[in-house]
């Protein structure tokens, strides 16, 4: 009898360990899966107008995938509450398609863009902190006051976003 009892114990221990490993692998892959379900980062500025970047983002993210549209001056006009109807309509299409509108915090800080003039929902993103700063601790992806839900889950997109906003 002890031999069969030992077999049951070993089998249930194996099943428990196997289930724990499956859960661990699934949890580790969750951020990667989330990043894959997101669309990309599109940048209006540096040679691309807001219209071009928005149209590209809309065409490449059909089906409601969340994507990110960063606007840098002078391509921030569509994000202002006082803009032309066509720009506002395109901006609204981006938001309706699950796009997240972004600007660089540095552009607000240096006066190139007024935060008070932006439409609701535009997210200001910080660039990389100065070398030696402890504002973004080693191994952390987000600043203490940032909402990760407003930023890309994909590491490459987040790095590009921070680099652009530095």
Kindly report the CATH number that applies to the domain delimited by 39-164.
3.40.1260
What is the distance between the alpha carbons of residues 97 and 4, in angstroms, rounded to a whole number? 60
b/e sequence 117-153, b meaning 16+ C-beta within 10 Å: ebbeebbbbbeeeeeeeeebeeeeeeeeebeeeebbb
Average pLDDT over residues 12-30: 36
Query: Tens digit of pLDDT for each residue in 108-145?
Result: 999 999 999 999 999 999 999 988 888 887 888 999 88
Q: Which residues is 68 bridged to in the sheet?
A: 41, 100
Angle between helix axes 85-96 and 50-60 (nearest 10 degrees) is 30
What is the distance between the alpha carbons of residues 158 and 166, in angstroms, rounded to a whole number? 12
**pTM (two decimals):** 0.76
Query: Tens digit of pLDDT for each residue in 61-107?
Result: 988 899 999 999 999 999 999 999 999 999 999 999 999 999 999 99
């Amino acid at each position: 009898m002890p031999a069969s009892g030992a077999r049951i114990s070993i089998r249930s221990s194996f099943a428990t360990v196997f289930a724990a490993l499956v859960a661990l692998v699934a949890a580790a892959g969750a951020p990667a899966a989330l990043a894959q379900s997101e669309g990309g980062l599109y940048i209006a500025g540096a040679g691309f107008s807001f219209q071009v970047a928005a149209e590209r983002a809309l065409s490449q993210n059909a089906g409601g995938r969340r994507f990110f549209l960063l606007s840098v001056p002078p391509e921030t006009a569509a994000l202002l509450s006082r803009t032309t109807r066509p720009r506002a309509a395109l901006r609204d299409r981006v938001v309706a398609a699950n796009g997240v509108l972004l600007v660089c915090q540095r552009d607000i800080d240096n006066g190139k863009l007024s935060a008070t003039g932006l439409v609701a929902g535009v997210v200001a993103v910080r660039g990389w902190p100065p070398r030696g700063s402890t504002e973004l601790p080693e191994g952390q992806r987000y600043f203490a006051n940032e909402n990760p839900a407003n930023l890309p889950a994909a590491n490459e997109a987040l790095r590009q976003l921070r680099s652009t906003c530095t």
